[in-house]
């Protein structure tokens, strides 16, 4: 979750705890019906559900930002835009540079027009973590979707785990 989301969530939870303490401290639980306890439990479930929803949507947004579209002549990512890459052997290295420089902001670069960018593969990265050395990747796994040019719909999807498997799929 982003910092503002965490701050807002903490403030709302603190206010809810404060109101619950005030409700018990003032003895209002003796006056009101038992329905209040049910409303309180439902309120806490709503807060927990909202937190879960925000976390899941942020994970899905980040996965979409890590998605790279591959054509015979270039790579496209919504964060970095169009990156020229004509050599298939250099694609994994170019993808690593894109993923290392990815910005999880809210600005997106437009996908090129259908006639100018014929997508062959869609590489969706689930987990990516750079290593200490320049040519080392600790974790890189996800899926490669084969796409029929002009259709932009996946024909098949293959899981990969590491640079070697990805290079073999892209060859």
Q: Write out residues in the chain with pLDDT < 70, as ranges.
A: 1-2, 32, 114, 131-137, 149-155, 171
Tell me what pLDDT residue 1 has: 61
Tell me what pLDDT residue 5 has: 78
Nearest CA among 133, 144, 142 for reference residue 162 = 142
Q: What angle do CA 71, 75, 81 make, to 5 degrees?
A: 130
Question: Whole-prediction pTM value?
Answer: 0.72
Query: Could you tell me the strand order of the sheet in which 81-84 lies?
Result: 81-84, 74-77, 68-70, 121-130, 137-147, 154-161
């Amino acid at each position: 979750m982003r910092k503002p989301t965490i701050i807002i969530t903490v403030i709302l939870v603190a206010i809810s705890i404060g109101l619950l303490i005030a409700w018990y401290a003032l003895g209002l639980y003796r006056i009101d019906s038992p329905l209040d306890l049910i409303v309180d439990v439902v309120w806490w479930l709503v807060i927990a559900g909202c937190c879960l929803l925000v976390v899941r949507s942020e994970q899905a947004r980040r996965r979409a930002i890590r998605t790279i579209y591959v054509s015979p002549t270039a790579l496209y990512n919504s964060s970095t835009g169009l990156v020229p890459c004509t050599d298939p052997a250099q694609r994994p290295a170019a993808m690593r540079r894109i993923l290392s420089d990815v910005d999880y902001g809210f600005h997106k670069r437009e996908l090129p027009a259908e006639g100018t960018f014929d997508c062959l593969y869609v590489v969706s990265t689930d987990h990516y973590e750079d290593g200490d050395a320049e040519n080392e990747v600790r974790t890189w796994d996800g899926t490669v979707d084969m796409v029929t040019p002009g259709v932009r719909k996946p024909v098949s999807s293959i899981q990969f785990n590491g640079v070697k498997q990805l290079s073999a799929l892209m060859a």
